[in-house]
């Protein structure tokens, strides 16, 4: 990315000497030198903009922001913890001094540990560099006697303000248990993966004093400061066993002697709870974890999301185990499907069959950790069915992430984001379910309720397989770190590459609360995070008016949404007669360095050029030698060639771009004329205006 360097800054002052007193189209003052984004594949201002065209391989990574206030030494960076895929895994052990012993003779000494989880850091969520404190930029050290084997997937890190430590949650396939390991206390599976490849997947936790590691598997000593200390379940913990022993612990917690004595116990006992994709979520000081029960020989249903509350950062509250969201009704021999359900439809809600007291009752007849203790429905509680637009989730619902919003009464709404259908499917999108409880009562939103947060749209022929994301809220902005196939719509997982989209919240009239919408995916120029650039979208501060406005649509110019999906095309500004003058008036002056005018979702209503952009100045820029009270940009081009799709139409979410030296303004006037039209429609449409300022 560094070869796309900025062209503005020091050079601009020398280019802005010329002044114009009365230009055509209402422009006045001096002509503002700028970079126009007309050739985004070659040059752009990397201090303000990014473009999703990296070759950064990986997938399913967790990302955190560490502020300078949180850590003077490590702050000011985003940290990305990589899933072991796409060539970023390490399978070669090291000696205690960090040297890699030969595989045959160990001439450097005996193997002591293996390093896992590639760690990179970035100031701007775009350019990344290795930074892990263990060998070769890895973050996690696993000793030879500890349980972790390979396939460390979907790590996520959170910071605990109480202890000042960083906790890393992940899933992994364990070593194959044997007599030697059992003698050390190992209780995990000895299943042969050639017979049952998923039965040895467990959830783990590691801890470190820094975001770069070295992370070590949690133990009583590194969590509680005493190797003999017990956790809140009364257990001494160590790296010998996984932090979550879901099979063993839940059987002990939920099974009664009467249940074990049932004639059909062997049929009811699900034998194995293989788990992946753990997501930690803190809600008002309480930690919850969400994870996926993976399909296995003991789970023919496929991948389903579960969750539980934690007693502290490392102690599971097994009594709250809950199936949170089902997948699709794909085979009729799966127990627990409600009568009247339709085959090849998504399970839109689940209900615990048992009764009892408390928020999470445990009915002895329906142990909470068994899939058969839950009823799955393909219709909604009001009896309505899914529409034809609701693509079935298939046998996979995974990659849980939790967001929250408020309803009209101020009550918290929990939004469970998930990815259906599996990574090999190009419709591996990001959708959501909602509830007023963090573990129970989730209902999958319908397509007409804008259920898709990020995904493949009919105009998207350039980026697919976007699922398993990380949401970030930093400096008042929301971001989605996601992934894409290197060959879009290729249909086979050969690895994925990094991508980034900004996210907005829009009021959802169907549901009565704000829901998340991605401004993406894109491969066009987009604004960088404000925590790096120092500039954010200030257009929302302005009062907006427009000539030739249709149906009050000027409100969509600053609603935060760049319209990347067909369903949202009505949420665009519309101007009759293909011409308009848009005015943004600021009550207080703003210092700005760029403007992005997002084109129409519809090719027929798109523009190829912006006639003029006029800026009323509240002070003369220090870098300018004149004393004019305004400046302008004339004939700002839209990069039509770069953003026209091979099969026709424009890439959604693309904009005409101008970046320039900082100016201070209180009014921006943007003019379009009929000659600026690209398509042949009878009205001009604009999706959004972004002004990069302070």
Q: What average pLDDT does this structure show over 135-140?
A: 93
Q: Of 5 and 104, which is predicted with more confidence?
A: 104
pLDDT above 90 coverage of the chain, percent: 82
Cα-Cα-Cα-Cα torsion 629, 634, 637, 638, nearest 10 degrees, comes to 50
Q: Is the dihedral of CA 73, 77, 78, 84 positive or negative?
A: negative
Q: Which of the residue ranges 23-27, 252-256, 367-371 would you say has the lowest mean pLDDT?
A: 23-27
Q: Is the pLDDT of residue 8 over 50?
A: no
| Cα 369 from Cα 657, distance rounded (Å) | 53
- Residue 221: is it exposed, middle or buried by C-beta count within 10 angstroms (0-12/13-18/19+)? middle
| Cα 468 from Cα 429, distance rounded (Å) | 8
Q: What is the pLDDT of residue 67?
A: 98
Q: Of the spans 66-75, 106-115, 327-336, which averages the highest pLDDT?
A: 66-75
**Tokens 């848009």 — which residue?**
582
The structural domains of the chain, with segments of one domain joined by +, span 9-51+527-693, 57-523
Q: How high is the mean pLDDT of the chain?
A: 93
Q: Is the pLDDT of residue 430 over 70?
A: yes
DSSP H stretches of helix in 597-693: 640-643
Can you read off the two tokens belonging to residue 486? 């290197």
Q: What average pLDDT does this structure show over 535-544?
A: 98
| CATH fold match for the domains 9-51+527-693 and 57-523 | no
Q: Indicate the pLDDT class of residue 92, thresholds 50, 70 and 90.
A: confident
Q: Is the pLDDT of residue 313 over 70?
A: yes
pLDDT digits (tens, 9 = 90+) for 331-342: 888 889 999 899
Q: What average pLDDT does this structure show over 459-479?
A: 94
Q: Is the pLDDT of residue 5 over 60?
A: no
| Cα 396 from Cα 597, distance rounded (Å) | 39
Q: What is the pLDDT of residue 104?
A: 60
**Tokens 């185990």 — which residue?**
321
Q: What is the pLDDT of residue 493?
A: 58
Question: Could you tell me which of 69, 80, 71, 197 has the C-alpha nearest to residue 498?
Answer: 80
Can you read off the two tokens belonging to residue 612? 């003029």
CATH top-level class for 9-51+527-693? mainly beta
pLDDT digits (tens, 9 = 90+) for 230-268: 999 999 999 999 999 999 999 999 999 999 999 999 999
CA angle, corner 67, sides to 64 and 72, nearest 5? 125
| Cα 474 from Cα 462, distance rounded (Å) | 28
Q: Is the pLDDT of residue 42 over 90?
A: no
pLDDT digits (tens, 9 = 90+) for 109-132: 888 999 999 999 999 999 999 999
Q: What average pLDDT does this structure show over 25-31?
A: 81
Which CATH topology does 57-523 take? Tachylectin-2; Chain A (2.115.10)
Determine the 3-state secondary structure of 524 from DSSP.
coil
Q: What is the pLDDT of residue 17?
A: 37
Q: What is the pLDDT of residue 323?
A: 98
Q: Is the pLDDT of residue 18 over 80?
A: no
pLDDT digits (tens, 9 = 90+) for 608-647: 999 999 999 999 999 999 999 999 999 999 999 999 998 8
Do 373 and 353 meet the contact criterion of CB atoms below 8 Å apart?
yes
């Amino acid at each position: 990315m560094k070869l796309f360097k900025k062209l503005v800054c020091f050079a601009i002052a020398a280019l802005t000497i010329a002044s114009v007193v009365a230009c055509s189209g209402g422009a006045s003052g001096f002509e503002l030198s700028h970079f126009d984004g007309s050739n985004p594949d070659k040059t752009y201002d990397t201090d303000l903009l990014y473009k999703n065209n990296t070759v950064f391989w990986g997938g399913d990574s967790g990302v955190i922001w560490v502020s300078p206030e949180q850590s003077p030494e490590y702050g000011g960076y985003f940290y990305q913890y990589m899933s072991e895929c796409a060539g970023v895994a390490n399978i070669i052990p090291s000696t205690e001094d960090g040297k890699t012993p030969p595989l045959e003779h160990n001439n450097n000494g005996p193997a002591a540990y293996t390093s896992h989880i590639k760690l990179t850091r970035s100031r701007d969520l775009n350019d990344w560099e290795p930074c892990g404190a263990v060998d070769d930029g890895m973050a996690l050290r696993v000793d030879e006697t500890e349980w972790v084997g390979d396939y460390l997937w979907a790590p996520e890190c959170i910071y605990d303000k109480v202890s000042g430590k960083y906790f890393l949650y992940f899933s992994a396939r364990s070593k194959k248990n044997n007599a030697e390991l059992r003698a050390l206390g190992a209780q995990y599976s000895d299943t042969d993966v050639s017979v049952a490849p998923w039965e040895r997947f467990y959830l783990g936790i590691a801890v470190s004093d820094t975001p770069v590691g070295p992370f070590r598997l949690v133990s009583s000593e590194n969590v509680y400061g005493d190797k003999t200390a017990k956790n809140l379940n009364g257990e001494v913990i160590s790296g010998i066993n996984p932090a979550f022993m879901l099979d063993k612990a839940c059987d002990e917690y939920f099974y009664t002697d009467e249940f074990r004595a049932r004639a059909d116990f062997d049929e009811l006992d699900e034998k194995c709870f293989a788990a992946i994709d753990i997501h930690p979520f803190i809600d008002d000081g309480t930690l919850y974890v969400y994870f996926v029960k993976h399909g296995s020989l003991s789970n023919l249903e496929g991948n389903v999301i579960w969750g539980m509350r934690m007693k502290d950062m490392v102690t599971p509250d097994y009594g709250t185990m809950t199936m949170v969201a089902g997948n699709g009704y794909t085979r009729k021999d799966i127990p627990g499907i409600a009568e009247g359900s339709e085959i090849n439809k998504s399970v839109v809600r689940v209900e615990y069959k048992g009764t009892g007291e408390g928020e999470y009752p445990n009915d002895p007849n329906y142990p909470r950790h068994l899939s058969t203790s839950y009823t799955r429905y393909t219709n909604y509680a009001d009896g309505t069915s899914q529409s034809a637009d609701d693509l079935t989730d298939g046998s996979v619902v995974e990659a849980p992430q939790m967001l929250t919003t408020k309803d009209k009464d101020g009550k918290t709404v929990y939004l469970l984001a998930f990815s259906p259908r599996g990574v090999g499917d190009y419709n591996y999108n990001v959708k959501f379910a909602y509830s007023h409880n963090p573990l129970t009562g989730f209902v999958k939103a319908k397509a007409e309720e804008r259920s898709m947060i990020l995904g493949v749209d009919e105009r998207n022929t350039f980026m697919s397989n976007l699922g398993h994301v990380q949401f970030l809220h930093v400096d008042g902005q929301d971001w989605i770190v996601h992934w894409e196939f290197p060959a879009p719509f290729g249909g086979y997982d050969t690895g994925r590459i990094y991508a980034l989209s900004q996210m907005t919240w829009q009021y959802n009239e169907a549901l009565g609360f704000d829901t998340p919408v991605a401004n993406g995916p894109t491969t066009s120029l987009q604004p960088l995070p404000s925590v790096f650039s120092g500039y954010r979208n200030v257009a929302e501060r302005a009062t907006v008016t427009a000539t030739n406005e249709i149906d009050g649509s000027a409100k969509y110019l600053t609603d935060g949404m760049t319209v990347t999906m067909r369903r949202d095309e009505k949420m665009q500004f519309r101007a009759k007669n293909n011409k308009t003058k848009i005015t943004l008036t600021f009550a207080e002056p703003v210092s700005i360095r760029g403007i992005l005018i997002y084109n129409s979702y519809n090719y027929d209503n798109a523009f190829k050029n912006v006639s003029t952009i006029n800026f009323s100045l509240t002070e003369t820029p220090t870098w300018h030698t004149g004393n004019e009270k305004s400046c302008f940009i004339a004939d700002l081009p839209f990069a039509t060639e770069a953003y026209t799709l091979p099969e026709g139409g424009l890439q959604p979410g693309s904009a005409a771009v101008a970046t320039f030296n900082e100016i201070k303004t209180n009014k921006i006037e943007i003019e379009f004329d009929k000659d600026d039209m690209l398509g042949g429609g009878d009205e001009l449409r604009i999706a959004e205006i972004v002004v990069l300022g302070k």
